[in-house]
Chains A and B, each alone.
Chain A
Amino acid sequence: MTQNDLSNIPVSIRHVTKKYADGFEAVRNVSFQIKRGDFSVLMGLNGAGKTSLIGMLTGTNHVSAGSIEVFGSDITKDPIRAKIKLGVVPQEVNLNFFTPIMDTLIYHGGFFGIPKHTVIQRALPLLKKARLDKKIHLPAGSLSGGMKRMLMLIRALIQKPEILVLDEPTANLDIEIRRTIWDILRTEHQNGMTTLLTTHNLEEAQLLCTNVLILHHGKLVMDRTLEDAIEEMEEKFYTIKFSSAPQKRALESFSAYGAKLKGEKTVDFCITRSQDLGQLIYKLHLAGLKIDHIAPSSHQLEQLLTEAIL
């Protein structure tokens, strides 16, 4: 691939290895690309090397071997051109707790050459959405954990970056803040932002992403579109919501589909390669169960992850 081709690719990671001073190899010879407009999720167990990889991509970690290019600019050799296109939301809160909220954004915008008035103009709608607009003069340290993470997301978004890199942005957050973050991320993705997300939240991954990358013991074991990956799975999981609570006896006849009551009206089903979703729907209809809603279950990704790493 020529340099000209690479300049159109948001992230190109080639044979990257991360070896720490103590000799521990966190990332081993990893290669993949993220294409323009992709929403990729990087998954893996704790210690799989996700944060080390993100650290190398964003410039907080040295690259031990290989190369990382952002739109054709090498993060080690040409860091300024590479970093200008990256918005970063790290895993750990990295705010100066004494700095007021608006100043936090103004300073960060300033680091990217964005004038104060532009930062304020870009920040206010996002702060309003996060219900932080009335607290802009408070120090960042006075915010709750969830709101600190929200502020870090807003801080990255005021740059209007071409690529947004998020390292477990919703870990340990309540559902309201989580959904607000998802909503923002979805909108930014629809507006053309390329996104790389690491998460342990499979619901989040399934809801947002188009591509799946799985790291295991520092090695990349999967790099597929979500659709393709699910298509090739041995078992597929669906959550079906019925218009009324299904009878226990009625569900027993669907044991071949691994029927498992999830909520009062919702049931998880597992369909193997030899089975068919249409057939299941037909059988449910015959059993007098009226379907309200069908969605791929978050078990789908759990299964995907399990198949990839075992």
Chain B
Amino acid sequence: MTSNHTDTPSIAQPPHFLRLQFIACMTIAHRESSRILRVWKMTVVPPIITIYLFTVVFGQILGGKIGQILGVDYVQFIVPGLIMNIVINESFSNNSSTIVIDKYNKSIESLITSPIHELTILIGYFIGAAVRVFMAGALASLLVFWQSGIAVQHWLLFTYTVLITCALFSLMGFINGLYATRFDEIPTIPTFILTPLSFFGGIFYDISRLPEPWRSISWYNPIVYIVDTFRYSLIGISLHEITESLIVVTLITVGLFCLSFYLLRIGYGIKK
């Protein structure tokens, strides 16, 4: 090894606060996106295959026997919920797994010892989750829209619903990542909470036809509102007032954002 270590002066002036936070946010987002692309067979392909199989089996093979729901073919009725299912699972699992992996190999220390604001961290991880949702969701949507003859009817609502759902579940995944201390704790929430909520979230059936008390109980399930709003943006039918659904989903997201922000500030799960 050479012994003459010549370099520019050792100390540099730090950048302006906003510039620093912007670069840091883009760095987190870029790091996440690179990781997602690096393992694309694990992050992008499985949801596309799953949604295609669901559409073929439930929509085309069984759908003919079920007939129409709320005046549309069964396959068109289930597609919005299936796409939302991708958005929910991908945004959740992206953040929960990346935080647990970073905690496991201690690379999260690099983030903790850096001058990054909590808001910057949350936005960075949200962008990372959104990239994963976009890559898996956009390809899956193109495939099933073409297959089932669906075209987006309300683009603004469509975009907002995807983004707010992505934000909600990426925040939930983030909190799960902070809480989890072992790898086997990553799938706890998806298995015991998200999957049941999705299946009872009106993806496959019309909630208004459920007997009581199940119909009333269903309206406490946030996924019902998400699926309903998204279905309206795609095929123009809904079971509930869209504005109310948007308010419910947005309020839950704001609540989770505040909780994530607080947990990050106190260093929950990442500081000793």
- Taking Cβ atoms with an 8 Å cutoff, the residues of A that contact B are 20, 55, 58-62, 79-86, 88, 90, 92-99, 103, 106-108, 110-115, 122, 125-126, 128-131, 155, 157, 159-162, 176, 179-180, 183-184, 187-188, 191-193
B residues less than 8 Å from A99 (CB atoms) = 31, 107
A residues less than 8 Å from B22 (CB atoms) = 113
- Give me 10 A-to-B residue pairs in the complex whose CB atoms sit less than 8 angstroms apart, sorted by A's number: A83-B114, A108-B110, A108-B114, A113-B14, A113-B21, A113-B22, A157-B10, A160-B12, A180-B1, A192-B9
A125 in contact with B109 given A79-B115, A83-B115 (CB within 8 Å)? no
Kindly state whether residue B255 has any CB partner on chain A within 8 Å: no
Shortest beta-carbon distance from A156 to chain B in Å: 9
Kindly state whether residue B27 has any CB partner on chain A within 8 Å: yes
Whether the pair A80, B12 counts as a contact (CB closer than 8 A) is: no
Whether the pair B1, A129 counts as a contact (CB closer than 8 A) is: yes
B11, B112, B267, B272: the one contacting A193 at CB < 8 Å is B11
Whether the pair A84, B7 counts as a contact (CB closer than 8 A) is: no
A60 in contact with B21 given A95-B107, A113-B15, A161-B11 (CB within 8 Å)? no
B266: nearest chain-A partner, CB-CB: A62
Q: Give the complex CA separation of A92 and B104 in angstroms.
A: 12
Kindly state whether residue B66 has any CB partner on chain A within 8 Å: no
What 10 pairs between A and B have smallest CB-CB spacing?
A: A110-B27, A113-B20, A160-B12, A111-B114, A94-B106, A191-B10, A113-B15, A84-B115, A96-B107, A83-B115
The contact string, 1 if C-beta is below 8 Å from chain A, for chain B 17-39, is 10111111011101100110010
Whether the pair A188, B10 counts as a contact (CB closer than 8 A) is: yes
Kindly state whether residue B102 has any CB partner on chain A within 8 Å: yes
B residues less than 8 Å from A107 (CB atoms) = 27, 30-31, 110
B residues less than 8 Å from A82 (CB atoms) = 115
B3: nearest chain-A partner, CB-CB: A183
Shortest beta-carbon distance from B157 to chain A in Å: 35
Whether the pair B267, A62 counts as a contact (CB closer than 8 A) is: yes
B22: nearest chain-A partner, CB-CB: A113
Whether the pair B7, A20 counts as a contact (CB closer than 8 A) is: no
A176 in contact with B117 given A92-B106, A162-B11 (CB within 8 Å)? no
Whether the pair A130, B272 counts as a contact (CB closer than 8 A) is: no
B residues less than 8 Å from A188 (CB atoms) = 10
A residues less than 8 Å from B272 (CB atoms) = 20, 55, 60-62
Q: Give the complex CA separation of A84 and B24 in angstroms.
A: 12
A125: nearest chain-B partner, CB-CB: B7
- Taking Cβ atoms with an 8 Å cutoff, the residues of B that contact A are 1-3, 5-12, 14-15, 17, 19-24, 26-28, 30-31, 34-35, 38, 101-102, 105-117, 267, 271-272
Whether the pair B14, A85 counts as a contact (CB closer than 8 A) is: yes
B residues less than 8 Å from A110 (CB atoms) = 23-24, 26-28, 30-31
Q: Give the complex CA separation of A160 and B23 in angstroms.
A: 17
Whether the pair B10, A129 counts as a contact (CB closer than 8 A) is: no
Whether the pair A113, B19 counts as a contact (CB closer than 8 A) is: yes
Q: Give the complex CA separation of A176 and B2 in angstroms.
A: 11
Whether the pair A192, B116 counts as a contact (CB closer than 8 A) is: no
Shortest beta-carbon distance from B95 to chain A in Å: 16
Shortest beta-carbon distance from B272 to chain A in Å: 5
A95: nearest chain-B partner, CB-CB: B107
Whether the pair B27, A176 counts as a contact (CB closer than 8 A) is: no
Whether the pair B23, A114 counts as a contact (CB closer than 8 A) is: yes
Q: Give the complex CA separation of A112 and B20 in angstroms.
A: 6
Whether the pair A59, B112 counts as a contact (CB closer than 8 A) is: yes
B2, B107, B113, B271: the one contacting A129 at CB < 8 Å is B2
A83, A103, A162: the one contacting B113 at CB < 8 Å is A83
A111 in contact with B107 given A88-B113, A96-B102 (CB within 8 Å)? no
B102: nearest chain-A partner, CB-CB: A96
B residues less than 8 Å from A193 (CB atoms) = 10-11
Whether the pair A129, B5 counts as a contact (CB closer than 8 A) is: yes
Q: Give the complex CA separation of A58 and B14 in angstroms.
A: 17
Whether the pair B27, A60 counts as a contact (CB closer than 8 A) is: no
Whether the pair A112, B102 counts as a contact (CB closer than 8 A) is: no
Shortest beta-carbon distance from A117 to chain B in Å: 12
Q: Give the complex CA separation of A111 and B6 in angstroms.
A: 25
A83: nearest chain-B partner, CB-CB: B115
A residues less than 8 Å from B267 (CB atoms) = 62
A84 in contact with B5 given A111-B114, A112-B14 (CB within 8 Å)? no
A residues less than 8 Å from B11 (CB atoms) = 160-162, 191-193
Whether the pair B271, A61 counts as a contact (CB closer than 8 A) is: yes
**With contacts A80-B115, A81-B115 known, what are 4 further pairs, Cβ within 8 A?**
A111-B115, A113-B14, A129-B1, A129-B5
A60, A81, A126, A191: the one contacting B112 at CB < 8 Å is A60
A86 in contact with B113 given A107-B27, A113-B20 (CB within 8 Å)? yes
